[in-house]
Every structure is written in C-alpha cells, then in structure tokens.
C-alpha cells in the first residue's frame, strides 16, 4: 500500500474542520436523495466519461496539532484511455496558511501503472511502480471522477448520509468504508460529495485510522472537453535526476 501513501498526498483531498469549515448547508430531509439514485447518476456519468479538468485545493489536517499543516492548490486532469485512466496534477502553490501560499511547482502523473513526481527545483523525478496494486490505485483515482456506482459498491460498503449544498452545488454525501482490510489500514473511511446533476465529486475527504485526514475541494470543473496530449507528460530536462525507490 506504499504507493497509496505516495499518491494521495498529491492526488486527493483535504480542507480543515478545525478552525475552518467548508461552506455547507443541509438540505431539507424531504429531498429525494437515495443511495440507489446517486449510484445510478454515477453510472450514467461513468458511461459518458472521457475527460475531466478542475482546479483544486488540497489540505492535510493533523489531529495531534489540531490544524492544517499543508495546503496545495493547482489544476488536475483526468482522461480515460481505453480501459485505463490517466491523471495529472499540476501543483502551483503551497503553504500552511490560507491566503499565504507561495509558488511551489510540483507535477504528479499517473499513467500506465506508474506514478511520476517531478520537482523542477531541485530538478528531480521520482518514479514509483504501482505493480500488483495497479488495479487498486486506478479504483481510487476514479473515485468521483469517472468511476461508476457499481464499481464503488464492489470495493466499499457505501451509505448515503443525505443531501448537502457545497458552494451552491446540490450534492449527496456518500460514506465509503473499504472492504479490504489492507486498504482500511491506510484510510478508515472516505467521504464523497457527489454532484446530483452530473454524477461527479466536488469534494472528497480521506480519513486515516488515526483521524488525520485529507480534504479536497474541486471547482471550475470541465467535463469531456479536449485536453492536449502534452498535458499528460512530465517535462524534465537533460539534467534531471531520476530516482526509482523500491519496496
């Protein structure tokens, strides 16, 4: 599961509940939101899914210090290539306090079962092979972004916790408990806020066994628009140092 620990700090999730809370508002209980209806909406979206592009803010909350210790913002891209999914995250700014982020370029690419993380400074590329965990990694990559409801219930025990409005978007909040004990050692539970109109996630929260968590908010989401092939590449230099950790 080491590759998950490497992926998720960059791919997913995070905004604080300590000191700062997302703008949310509970919708009336009478709203006709059921698990079955949400899963069907996700199935429909998955059948039509080709690409997604979105701006993101990822925050990591540390329970011991009761605050966010890392915030990253940038743009994320997904596309389906045959039966595979590719993901590219361009991190542009980072820091520990909202409003005080500094430029910090970082690029993370998942393609063909491989995670590549490139840091322009110090011009270093780190490559991780997903190996036997490739299918698991791809399952998590498409959570809320092209994954179907039927795929979701195969890997998780899923419950619908009701409707919420996130930044003006009507969503349903789903709680996911991984069926795999191996995965639960990394994430005890996952929350997805699924847009009720287009069936994709606008917010995700990954809670670790020690109650640390990562929360991601997505905005300016664009579905099924053409994304240039160059986006799904890591542009290194002739002097780039390449590392390939094992284990």
pLDDT in tens, 131-185: 877 777 777 777 888 888 998 999 999 999 999 999 999 999 999 999 989 888 8
CA 16 to chain centre: 16
In a domain, 238, yes or no: no
Indicate the burial class of 194 (C-beta count within 10 angstroms; 0-12, 13-18, 19 or more): buried
Domain containing residue 184:
2-223
- Reported residue count of the chain is 247
- Its pTM surpasses 0.85: no
Query: What average pLDDT does the structure give for the chain?
Result: 83
Following CA atoms 130, 73, 26, 150 in sequence, which dihedral angle do they give, to the nearest 10 degrees? -20
Q: Please tell me the total count of domains within the chain.
A: 1
pLDDT at position 26: 42
What is the CATH number for 11?
A: 2.50.20.10
**197 belongs to a structural domain:** yes
Query: What whole-number distance in Å separates Cα of residue 108 and Cα of residue 232?
Result: 10
Q: What would the pLDDT profile of 180-227 be if each residue is shown by its tens digit? A: 898 888 899 999 999 999 999 999 999 999 999 999 999 999 999 999
């Amino acid at each position: 599961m080491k590759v998950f620990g490497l992926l998720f700090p960059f791919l997913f999730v995070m905004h604080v509940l300590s000191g700062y809370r997302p703008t949310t508002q509970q919708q009336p209980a009478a709203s006709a939101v059921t698990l079955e209806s949400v899963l069907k909406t996700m199935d429909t979206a998955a059948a039509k899914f080709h690409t997604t592009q979105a701006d993101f803010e990822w925050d990591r909350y540390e329970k011991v210090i009761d605050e966010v210790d890392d915030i990253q913002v940038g743009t994320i891209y997904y596309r389906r290539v045959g039966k595979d999914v590719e993901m590219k995250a361009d991190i542009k700014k980072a820091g520990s306090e909202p409003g005080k982020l500094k430029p910090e370029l970082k690029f993370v690419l998942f393609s063909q079962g491989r995670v590549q993380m490139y840091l322009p400074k110090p011009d270093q590329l780190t490559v991780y092979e997903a190996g036997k965990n490739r299918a698991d990694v791809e399952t998590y990559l498409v959570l809320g972004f092209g994954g179907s409801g039927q795929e979701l219930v195969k890997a998780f025990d899923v419950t619908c916790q009701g409707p919420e409005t996130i930044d003006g978007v009507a969503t349903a909040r789903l709680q996911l408990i991984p069926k795999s004990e191996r995965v639960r050692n990394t994430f005890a539970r996952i929350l997805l806020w699924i847009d009720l109109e287009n069936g994709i996630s606008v917010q995700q929260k990954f809670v670790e066994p020690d109650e640390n968590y990562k929360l991601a908010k997505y905005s300016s989401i664009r579905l099924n628009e053409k994304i240039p092939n160059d986006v799904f590449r890591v542009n290194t230099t002739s002097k780039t140092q390449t590392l390939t950790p094992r284990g």
